[in-house]
């Protein structure tokens, strides 16, 4: 295994399903880590992203549990970035995998004696695994207190791209309807799940933090702000699996060449109409 879980057999055959975009890779370094135990691979291109970890990696575990019901298998997971280590350990514990069964892998060449991997279970950005998402969501919510009627605005204050240029006007409008601003990345995953499990409405700019709608009730209404320079259906698909009503407001991009990463503005009148149709003033 090299990089983000790219697999190559002893005879040099590259496993296409593990490669980024199916493109061949070059191996020049010797193995620096050896894993002799049977293990399942929880790695893929993009696994350092919060959203991809929850929706595309954790959702594989139910399938491995069905395939190997009697095995006390271990899991191979990325050790980097270190800021995600507690998140990964907690979510694995939710799925019944304790810390003694975790093998933390770097991106260097690793020799695996006996490994199981999963072929692609999602197509970015619009198709995900309903069974895996539903089972992971159920396991996660069994570990937190649920209930409430909070109205949440997911902030991207610290982002360097896809910034909402007229956010001050948006926040002023949302204040009329009793919204609170949350920055999910400031909280451990247990608290993120608890906050969003109490959400009545979630509004935010498309980005990894919006993955927390996974923990929101099926009755929750979700509104995503997006630049009009590129479509993004990751959260639309996730909301549909959970059963949530999902809406977009697309706004003019300041630099269309950046596609989905461009800064942009949204129409405050469109936001006002959406809020009046779905939210009674507090």
Q: Shortest CA distance to 233 belongs to which of 22, 4, 51, 41?
A: 51
Alpha-carbon gap, residue 77 to 92, rounded angstroms:
10
Identify whether 86 is part of a domain: yes
Query: Is the domain of 62 the same as that of 116?
Result: yes
Instruction: Answer whether residue 232 shows pLDDT above 80.
Output: yes
Q: Is the pLDDT of residue 282 over 70?
A: no
Q: Is the pLDDT of residue 46 over 90?
A: no
- Please tell me the distance from the alpha carbon of residue 135 to that of residue 226, in angstroms, as a whole number: 29
Nearest-angstrom CA–CA distance, 55 and 129: 8
Tell me what the mean pLDDT of segment 77-95 comes to.
94
Does residue 42 contact residue 102 with C-beta atoms inside 8 Å?
no
Residue 254 is encoded by which pair of tokens? 């300041």
Main-chain dihedrals φ then ψ at residue 233, nearest 5 degrees: -115, 15
Tokens standing for residue 44: 């893929």
pLDDT winner (highest mean) among 110-114, 121-125, 126-130:
110-114
Neighbours of 18 (CB within 10 A): 24
Q: What is the CATH number of the domain that holds 274?
A: 3.40.50
Domain that holds residue 274: 150-278
Q: Of 12-16, 110-114, 194-198, 209-213, which range is least confident?
A: 12-16
Which residue in 183, 224, 169 sits closest to 202, CA to CA?
A: 224
In a domain, 144, yes or no: no
Choose the final residue of a domain: 69, 89, 124: 124
pTM of the predicted structure, to 2 decimals:
0.91
In a domain, 136, yes or no: no
197 and 118 co-located in one domain: no
The answer to whether position 111 is within a domain reads yes
Burial label, 281 (beta-carbon count in 10 A; 0-12, 13-18, 19+): exposed
Q: Cβ atoms within 10 A of the Cβ of 111, count?
A: 13
Backbone angles phi, psi at 270, to 5 degrees: -65, -40
Q: Which residues of 176-209 are buried (b: 16+ CB within 10 A; e: fewer)?
A: ebebeebebeeeebbebbbbbbbbbbbbbbbbbb
Residue 5 lies in a domain: no
Q: Residue 84 has what pLDDT? A: 94
| Model pLDDT, residue 228 | 93
Domain total in the chain: 2
Sign of torsion over alpha carbons 233, 141, 67, 51? positive
């Amino acid at each position: 295994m090299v990089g983000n879980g790219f697999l190559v057999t002893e005879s040099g055959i590259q496993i296409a399903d593990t490669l980024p975009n199916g493109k061949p890779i070059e191996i020049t370094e010797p193995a620096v880590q050896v894993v002799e135990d049977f293990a399942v691979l929880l790695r893929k291109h993009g696994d350092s992203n919060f959203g991809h970890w929850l929706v595309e990696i954790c959702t594989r575990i139910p399938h491995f549990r069905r395939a190997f019901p009697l095995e006390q298998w271990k899991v191979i997971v990325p050790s980097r970035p270190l800021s995600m280590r507690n998140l990964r350990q907690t979510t694995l514990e939710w799925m019944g995998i304790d810390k003694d069964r975790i093998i933390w892998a770097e991106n260097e060449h690793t020799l695996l004696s006996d490994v199981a991997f999963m072929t692609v279970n999602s197509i970015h950005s619009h198709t995900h695994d309903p069974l895996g998402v539903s089972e992971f969501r159920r396991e996660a919510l069994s570990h937190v207190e649920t209930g409430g009627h909070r109205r949440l605005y997911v902030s991207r204050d610290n982002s360097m791209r896809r910034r909402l240029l007229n956010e001050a006007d948006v926040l002023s409008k949302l204040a009329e309807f009793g919204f609170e601003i949350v920055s999910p990345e400031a909280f451990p995953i247990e608290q993120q799940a608890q906050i969003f499990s109490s959400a009545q409405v979630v509004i935010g700019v498309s980005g990894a933090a919006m993955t927390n709608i996974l923990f929101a009730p099926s009755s929750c209404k979700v509104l995503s702000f997006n630049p009009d320079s590129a479509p993004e259906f990751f959260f639309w698909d996730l909301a549909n699996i959970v059963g949530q009503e999902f809406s977009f407001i697309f706004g003019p991009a300041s630099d269309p060449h950046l596609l989905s990463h461009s800064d942009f503005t949204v129409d405050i009148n469109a936001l006002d109409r959406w809020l009046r149709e779905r939210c009674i003033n507090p």
